[in-house]
Chains A and B, each alone.
Chain A
């Protein structure tokens, strides 16, 4: 990849284990992504995907290694990286516009009240919440709350949006609508997105790249799946595309068995370089093949 807008370099995260010693969630983890890309991390619970997101957000720091965003190493949370929390994390004593305005005033400290309001209103309109500005979070449905979370994240116009399973607490219908909205907004604004999910269909619909993580502890980035579906895919006919089922089966196979047995594959002689995990594009031929393995040996 030519541009490394966001780059995780040899990061590791270790915790003290209960019985002494340390537990390594992951180590020597490398990953980079370009501007405007939509990346999904997929893996089972406990593989450390949320830890990766928290490190990227600056809420957690790596035990080793570093994170570069737009060429600079990050030193903590910052306004250039907005987080959309799984639990939406709205401030319940503020209204919808109050929650969004809180973020806007944090970004633009010198703005007047009217400027802040207008800016916040723009993003409330963008997520389709016009008319609900003065409601409190407790009066909103789960989907509407997450819309506010998205509006709050977008309103600070971040370089990257970090989403931690943003739709997992929603019912299927609401989840579908919100995925459509997020896709529309990201395509309109060219937003760079790093998202964590364990929903295979969500990853295929939204992501340009799907990063497969093996089970923890000692989790690894096994492969990076380049989404073979066209950029202008639509929810209602995506499953008719010839590459849809190959890519879906590839992801499900990984989650069902390979996420568990990947370490055995390496031990059995599979070539795998942590700095350059193989990039695959399932569905281009009859079987998944390596298209961009930069490793010396053959797979």
Chain B
């Protein structure tokens, strides 16, 4: 076989997917024990008891559900029945708002830490203590002080995405090659111009790597945060559908969260690639 690695990998991927779907289909297609019961009672019990069917939906049901969401993603039938597109848009808006707030803080502060050994040492204990705190632990404090659930979840996104960017920016700035800084010194380049023309491009790959880690964490955290604060968003959607016992919708949402997370990561990967320079 002279197929390229990509083609062969694609064949294996498709085979694995097909095997998974087949196992899933068989496992959920009604082979459990059937209890004999009064027809009136059977109506209350549902398909699991009467036909031995699993409560877990099969792949067909989930694919159908995904299709129905995709053809009509933006309907709005009131607070508890919004299209999955609207819910994702809410989550994305919160993530991006909190994330860009974190960029606006982390990159300048990271520059300061990276350029000043004094600030690096002085701020290090705070960063080391604050960094390992689960972002959700801030939620009660945020709700108490901000008194708005939506802004609180934005704050939680901010606090979880600020650390990787801060640390990577500081590291990238501190490890700019000495000789490049010397070039700027011998050319009498002003500090501001040096920051933008030498340090920023030199540290950009490291900074972007931090931003890529942060967007991943932010997207993980938003789901949990929205489960807590409720109202809107894909996290709330998952929790609401769990309360509705709609496992089909829960699985659909899980897949969509994965796809959106992948898209966010891909965008940052592209940006990182664009600023990376070969040496």
Across-interface contacts of B189 in A (CB, < 8 A): 106
B179 at interface by CB-CB < 8 Å: yes
Bound CA–CA A77/B182 (angstroms):
9
Across-interface contacts of B183 in A (CB, < 8 A): 83, 85, 89, 91
**Which chain A residues numbered 133 to 151 have a C-beta less than 8 Å away from chain B?**
136-138
**A89 in contact with B182 given A79-B187, A79-B188, A136-B278 (CB within 8 Å):** yes
* Contacting pair A83 B279 (CB below 8 A): no
A57 at interface by CB-CB < 8 Å: yes
Across-interface contacts of A83 in B (CB, < 8 A): 182-183, 186
Chain B residues touching A, range: 10 to 19
**Which chain A residues numbered 68 to 106 have a C-beta less than 8 Å away from chain B?**
76-79, 81-83, 85, 87, 89, 91-93, 102-103, 106
Q: Which residue of B lies closest to A107 (CB)?
A: B187
Contact of B182 among A59, A136, A137, A156 (CB under 8 A): A59
**A89 in contact with B187 given A138-B278, A138-B279 (CB within 8 Å):** no
* Contacting pair A102 B197 (CB below 8 A): yes
Across-interface contacts of A106 in B (CB, < 8 A): 187-189
Count how many pairs of residues, one from A and one from B, have CB atoms less than 8 Å apart in the complex. 57
B198 at interface by CB-CB < 8 Å: yes
Q: Helix, strand, loop or mixed for chain A's interface? A: loop
Bound CA–CA A59/B179 (angstroms):
10
* Contacting pair A89 B180 (CB below 8 A): yes
* Contacting pair B278 A59 (CB below 8 A): no
B147 at interface by CB-CB < 8 Å: no
Bound CA–CA A81/B179 (angstroms):
16
Across-interface contacts of A136 in B (CB, < 8 A): 277-278
Across-interface contacts of A92 in B (CB, < 8 A): 277-279
B185 at interface by CB-CB < 8 Å: yes
Q: Which residue of B lies closest to A158 (CB)?
A: B186
B57 at interface by CB-CB < 8 Å: no
Bound CA–CA A93/B278 (angstroms):
8
B58 at interface by CB-CB < 8 Å: no
Not counting A89-B182, A136-B277, a sample of 9 additional A-B residue pairs whose C-beta atoms are within 8 angstroms of each other reads A77-B187, A78-B188, A79-B188, A83-B186, A91-B202, A92-B277, A92-B279, A138-B277, A156-B187
Leading 3 A-B pairs by shortest Cβ distance: A106-B187, A89-B179, A138-B278
Which A residues are closer than 8 A to B by beta carbons? 57-59, 76-79, 81-83, 85, 87, 89, 91-93, 102-103, 106-107, 136-138, 156
Q: Can you list 20 residue pairs at the A/B interface with Cβ under 8 Å?
A: A59-B186, A77-B185, A77-B186, A78-B188, A82-B186, A83-B183, A89-B177, A89-B183, A91-B183, A91-B202, A92-B278, A92-B279, A93-B275, A102-B187, A102-B197, A106-B187, A106-B188, A107-B187, A137-B279, A138-B277
